[in-house]
Amino acid sequence: MSVFFSLQGQSCPAALCQRFNSVIPTHLFSQLPVLFLLIILPSKFKSSEIPFHGTPRRHGKRSKPSNFSHPDEKVSRKAWFFNGGELRAVTLLYLHRAFSCLDAVINLFLQTFGDPTLMRFLVARSMDPAKAAKMFVQWHKWRAAFVPLGLIPDSEVPDELEARKIFLQGLSKQGYPLMIVKASRHYPAKDQPQFKKFVVHLLDKTIASSFKEREIGNEKLIGVLDLQQLSYKNIDARGLITGFQFLQAYYPERLATCYLLNMPWFFVSVWRMVSRFLEKATLEKIVIVSNEDEKKQFIAEIGEEALPQEYGGRAKLVALQDVVLTPQLED
């Protein structure tokens, strides 16, 4: 049974695009990244609210905190973003003069995307405003073109659903929805466009299953790739790469952890090849469970309530298409 659900922070209906076009001159559309992260975000986050100093990094040491206090000094956008004060006011004054005709756009962004959504893009790009803005605009354009309805309905991915290879369980101890993939039921897709739609379909539905009344924007998911009874005909390196690349490009900071279970010896070389296409931050979230101690830790981290019995829990497997979500209603 299919279900209609909306991802408020993920959808881009045609009416929204028309509103953008009506308030943004064509020659200024390319300035949206600057507008987004140099006007909107600074007005929503104050330096005193940031729990760290300098630029956070996933790897290596944090950079030293900046001590700029005068607007005439040469500063990067990162230094300006975290220090605020007089420098921030002068920068905003300059930008308000340059984009005085775009007030409607600012309000539209604030109404559509909340702080947690915007922060995901910043974190995904190491708090670099320019890179985060570029990523946000690319995601926004992709979402409008690839998912014009705001979701991929069951009717557009019938072949993939028929395999019954994806299972959507309850929430983990941390409150993250649990998605299980049985690789032995997967075969390389003959219809690549449908497979890509299916990736979006399952990610959207998994994320939406954790909504409480409506999307907040910082929801994450846990993935389990079960390689039990995997054979050579099930191996699909291209499909794995596509799935992870979609996560990296269009679902920044949505993945909490991905567990690989029951990996056969012949899959090791496949995984090494797939790993080359993944960002270092993504690889850090992948856990290969290979012994009993790691399995116990896997069960402890997720919780027996969400895990099916065959994985050490008390729940039953529930196929993705059998999960019915409560529709998210617009105000």
> What domains sit in the chain, N to C, each tagged with a CATH number?
14-146 (no CATH), 154-322 (3.40.525.10)
pLDDT at 116: 82
Which residues touch 170 (CB under 8 Å, ≥6 apart)? Answer: 177, 178, 305, 306, 315
pLDDT of amino acid 104: 52
Provide the CB-side half-sphere exposure for 238 (13 A, CA).
9
Q: How far is CA 104 from the centre of its chain?
A: 27
pLDDT tens track of the chain, all 331 residues?
333 333 434 444 333 344 434 444 444 444 454 444 444 444 444 433 333 333 333 333 434 333 333 333 333 333 333 333 443 333 444 334 433 444 554 555 556 777 788 888 888 988 877 788 888 888 989 999 999 999 999 999 999 999 999 999 999 999 999 999 999 999 999 999 999 999 999 999 999 999 876 778 789 999 999 999 999 999 999 999 999 999 999 999 999 999 999 999 999 999 999 999 999 999 999 999 999 999 999 999 999 999 999 999 999 999 999 998 876 544 3
Identify the CA nearest to 286 among candidates 245, 254, 252, 258: 258
Query: Which tokens in the block code for residue 18?
Result: 């028309």
Amino acid at 137: V
pLDDT of residue 27: 42
Q: Which residue has the tokens 């200024």?
A: 28
| Cβ–Cβ under 8 Å, residues 58 and 281 | yes
As a whole number of angstroms, the distance between CA 306 and CA 171 comes to 6
Q: What is the DSSP string of 143-154?
A: HHHH-TTSS--G
Other C-beta atoms lying within 10 Å of the C-beta of residue 21: 11
